[in-house]
Amino acid sequence: MKIQKRTIALCIYFGFLILPIYWMLNMSLRTNADILGNFALYPADMTFHNYVHIFTDHT
Amino acid sequence: MEKWQNNKAWFLVLPAFVIVAFSAFIPLMTVVNYSIQDIFGPGEAIYVGTEWFEEMLSNYRLHDALWRQFLFSGLVLLIEIPLGILIALAMPKRGWGVSACLVILAMPLVIPWNVIGTIWIIFTRPDIGLFGVGINSLNILSDTFDHTARPLYAWITVLVMEVWHWTPLVALLCYAGLRAIPEAYYQAARIDGASSWATFFYIQLPKMRGVLTIAVLLRWMDSFLIYSEIFTLTGGGPGNTTTFLSIYLVKLATMQFDLGPAAAFSLIFFVIVLFFSFLFYQALLNGEKGEKI
């Protein structure tokens, strides 16, 4: 029982560690208008346009 | 003892000496040079003696930044060290879970520092960030959580970011310390019928002293010198409420271009960090000696 409590606490901490990084990933897969327009926990229509943009934009 | 006749071996020290001179000594002396002169332009400098030092030591903005810095570094140590120990204690000791935990723990440590600031700007924004939206939807705060508007929320954001970023390092160090304890100690404790509290206080904590010394020193110095994350996240604001020493220094040197005072400030800053690191090191070292008696 004690071991389980520890594991749960550890999992909560790891969630806290992962969430900001996940949120960044979530933002990277959405368009600007979508990010500012509606709050979503996961990208509904995923787009890789942002990645294409940073690798092809010469400026 | 007979003296060596051939002293050519000294030439072998020369490369190391040159590297240290160019990487540490000459830049430091340049700062010292600036700190005692008033620079008007290229080739126009007037010797002012200790005027900048006197000005900086009586500068109330520097005092404010210094107290803020002490409060911040103190809070960081108070939160991160116990949390790191708890995480290390909760981590699995064998099996696939160990590598999984290590990978997750190492993640915040490999992100560039200004990216950390950007991540937390987005994460805590009250309109699009999960943290901001989440805490506002709970309706426990009297006004909207927005780190650009309220000093208290800016402090909370900066502290949470710092704890998020660096607690894994403390946890990894503590975990390494815990793993280095021989199994025989635990067996002896079990035979004596020691409780888990007693095991922690008489075996695990004393055995972790070495790594904890390193953790405290590293976290103290790094949080004292913190710049990139906070510059990206709050830029020292709102007002001057999160302007820590290094942020104030950069404002002074690059935005107001007060090179002389900034150089004097750098040297004072350097001496403070050196002094406190020495103090911590001595305190932890002497504590260890006292224990062995």
**Interatomic CA distance for residues B152 and B289, integer angstroms:** 41
Contact between chains at A20 and B120 (C-beta distance less than 8 A): yes
Going residue by residue through chain B, which has 293 residues, state the pLDDT in tens, using 9 for 90 and above. Answer: 667 777 788 888 899 989 988 888 888 888 888 888 887 777 777 788 788 888 888 888 888 889 999 999 999 999 999 999 999 998 888 888 899 999 999 999 999 998 999 999 989 888 888 888 888 888 777 777 888 888 888 999 999 999 999 999 999 999 999 999 999 999 999 898 888 888 888 888 888 888 888 898 899 888 988 888 899 888 877 888 888 888 888 888 888 777 888 888 889 888 988 898 888 888 877 766 655 43
Q: Which amino acid is at B120?
A: W
Give B10 to chain A, closest Cα distance, Å.
51
CB B38 within 8 A of CB B258: no
**Interatomic CA distance for residues B244 and B71, integer angstroms:** 10
So what's the pLDDT on residue B293?
Answer: 38
User: Packing angle between helix B60-90 and helix B151-179, nearest 10 degrees?
Assistant: 40
3 state SS of B244: coil
| Residues constituting chain A | 59
Of all residues in chain A, what percent carry a pLDDT higher than 90? 20
CB A40 within 8 A of CB B130: no
So what's the pLDDT on residue B147?
Answer: 81
Give B172 to chain A, closest Cα distance, Å.
14
**pLDDT category, A3, cuts 50, 70, 90?**
low
**Interatomic CA distance for residues B133 and B156, integer angstroms:** 15
CB B80 within 8 A of CB B170: yes
So what's the pLDDT on residue B289?
Answer: 63
CB A36 within 8 A of CB B128: yes
Place of tokens 């509290």: B197
Which residue numbers of B have CB closer than 8 Å to A's CBs? 86-87, 89-91, 101, 104-105, 107-108, 111, 118-120, 122-123, 127-131, 133, 164, 168
Spell out the residues 6+ positions from residue B185 whose beta carbon is closer than 8 angstroms to its own: B203, B207
The pLDDT tens digits for B155-187 are 999 999 999 999 999 999 999 999 999 999 999
Contact between chains at B128 and A41 (C-beta distance less than 8 A): no
Nearest Cα residue to B266 out of B71, B30, B67: B30
Note the ipTM here: 0.86
Contact between chains at B129 and A9 (C-beta distance less than 8 A): no
Of A9, A16, A36, the CB nearest to B90: A9
| Residues constituting chain B | 293
Spell out the residues 6+ positions from residue B181 whose beta carbon is closer than 8 angstroms to its own: B203, B204, B207
